[in-house]
């Protein structure tokens, strides 16, 4: 395990860190992550751009190494879904900026980790784990968001490689990343079957971009490819098989988006419980109102359900379940957890009243940040389609793709 997990004991368990479905070692790891997240509070936040001091500090603390599973002293060569979910949930409960920074390190790096050759992995992955290298996942385009098969970024054959031409947008960490996992069309008209993944250095000639100003403080931007040169050594996986490379990463990451949502929802519930016991009105406390009790009970129940779905999906991935089962369970986890988090945070704001929307309040920040996970890495509508296809495949395999 990453970090000083040995210092954590069973006494580290608390009501804020549910142990169901986890081994004792995983519970200790979650407790360590939460303590490490609290130590990051002194780092100045950055709105709309990569916070390199934060990323570097997380690398030094061992948090980023946790993205890759295995022992801390091993070369990062793998990914563990459950550990990723624990990282994201615990970080989100304490520090959403740190959670997002960690998540983007993993999202941008996993196509390289999982599908790059040894030289490409050695060039980029160790630096990601240390916090020296900032990666990005470049899939979305102005006219190809949910419909990834409509990608239009063109990879034109050029000698023993290609040149990239076109635009990517809504790209996390752009335009400041050091390396991009880029998905481009190598075979025109082939939809998802004609896409190839490439590892593209951020300082490549012909690559430019600008930041996007979003409601949430996430670092997102647009990238422009004007004849950016890539070679066969930069290919991730096989030529024309990039869609599978991207989906492999998303199947791993979707449960952890749910974990991020669960962490935010838990933070909102914790704040609401504290406030409801402090707030005096109508001659008593807010928590003495039956309506408040029922709202808190519903918040807690939905969070627990979301957490279980997330951990079930992570266990399916780590356990090597069939691909269709991994895809369906990941979609269920992301769908339920992100929709739940939106509802929980909204209810928390309602319980706090106007103060919950005051600039700088925890809930004001969560209210802005909780909306995006229902869209990125597959909108809720896409997740429902994936789940429905899984149901059709299970009951009528011949009609699964219709």
Cis peptide before 283 (omega within 30 of 0): no
CA-to-CA dists, residue 366 to 25, 63, 91, 259, 373, angstroms: 30, 22, 13, 15, 12
381 carries an active-site annotation? no
Helices (H), 116-241: 118-130
Which is nearest to 87 in space by CA: 300, 217, 255?
Answer: 255
Q: SS3 breakdown of the chain: % helix, strand, coil, rounded to 5?
A: 55, 15, 30
Q: Which residue has the tokens 């670092």?
A: 219
CA 67-73-78 angle, to 5 degrees, is 40
Per DSSP, the three-state class of 173 is coil
Q: What are the contacts of 152-161 at 24+ separation with CB within 8 A?
A: 152/185, 153/182, 153/183, 153/184, 153/185, 153/225, 154/184, 154/185, 155/184, 155/185, 155/186, 155/196, 155/198, 155/230, 158/229, 160/231, 160/232, 161/229, 161/230, 161/231, 161/232, 161/234
The residue from 238, 339, 377, 381 that is catalytic is: 377
Q: How far apart are CA 28 and CA 88, in angstroms?
A: 15
Asked if residue 265 lies in contact with residue 345, where contact means CB atoms within 8 angstroms, the answer is yes
Encode 175-197 in three state secondary structure. CCCCEEEEEEECCCCCHHHHEEE
Q: How far apart are CA 100 and CA 260, in angstroms?
A: 9
Which one-letter DSSP state was computed for residue 215? S
Q: How far apart are CA 228 and CA 224, in angstroms?
A: 9
Catalytically active residues, by annotation: 377
């Amino acid at each position: 395990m990453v970090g000083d997990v040995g210092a954590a004991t069973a006494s580290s368990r608390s009501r804020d860190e549910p142990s169901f479905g986890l081994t004792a070692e995983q519970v200790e790891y979650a407790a360590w992550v939460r303590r490490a997240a609290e130590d990051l509070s002194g780092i100045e936040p950055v709105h709309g751009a990569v916070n390199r001091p934060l990323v570097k500090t997380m690398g030094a603390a061992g948090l980023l190494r946790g993205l890759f599973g295995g022992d801390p002293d091993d070369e990062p060569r793998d990914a563990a879904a459950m550990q990723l979910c624990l990282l994201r949930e615990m970080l989100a409960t304490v520090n959403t900026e740190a959670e997002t920074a960690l998540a983007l390190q993993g999202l941008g790096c996993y196509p390289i980790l999982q599908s790059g050759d040894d030289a490409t992995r050695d060039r980029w992955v160790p630096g990601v784990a240390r916090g020296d290298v900032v990666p990005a996942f470049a899939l979305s385009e102005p006219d190809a968001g949910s419909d990834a098969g409509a990608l239009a970024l063109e990879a034109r054959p050029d000698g023993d490689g290609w040149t990239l031409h076109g635009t990517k947008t809504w790209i996390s960490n752009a335009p400041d990343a050091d390396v991009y996992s880029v998905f481009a069309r190598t075979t025109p008209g082939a939809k998802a079957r004609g896409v190839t993944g490439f590892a593209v250095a951020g300082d490549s000639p012909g690559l430019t971009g600008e930041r996007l100003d979003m409601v949430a403080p996430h670092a997102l931007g647009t990238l422009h490819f004007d004849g950016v040169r890539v070679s066969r050594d930069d290919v991730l996986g096989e030529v024309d098989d990039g869609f599978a490379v991207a989906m492999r990463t998303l199947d791993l990451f979707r449960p952890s988006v749910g974990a991020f949502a669960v962490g935010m929802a838990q933070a909102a519930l914790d704040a609401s419980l504290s406030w409801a016991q402090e707030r005096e009105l109508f001659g008593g406390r807010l928590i003495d109102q039956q309506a408040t009790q029922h709202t808190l009970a519903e918040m807690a129940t939905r969070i627990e359900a979301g957490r279980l779905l997330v951990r079930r999906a992570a266990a399916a991935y780590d356990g090597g379940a069939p691909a269709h089962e991994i895809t369906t369970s990941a979609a269920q986890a992301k769908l339920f957890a992100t929709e739940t988090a939106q509802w929980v945070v909204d209810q928390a704001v309602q319980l706090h009243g106007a103060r919950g929307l005051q600039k700088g309040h925890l809930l004001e920040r969560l209210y802005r940040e909780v909306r995006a996970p229902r869209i990125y890495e597959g909108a809720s509508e896409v997740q429902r389609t994936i789940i429905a296809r899984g149901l059709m495949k299970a009951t009528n395999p011949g009609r699964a793709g219709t």
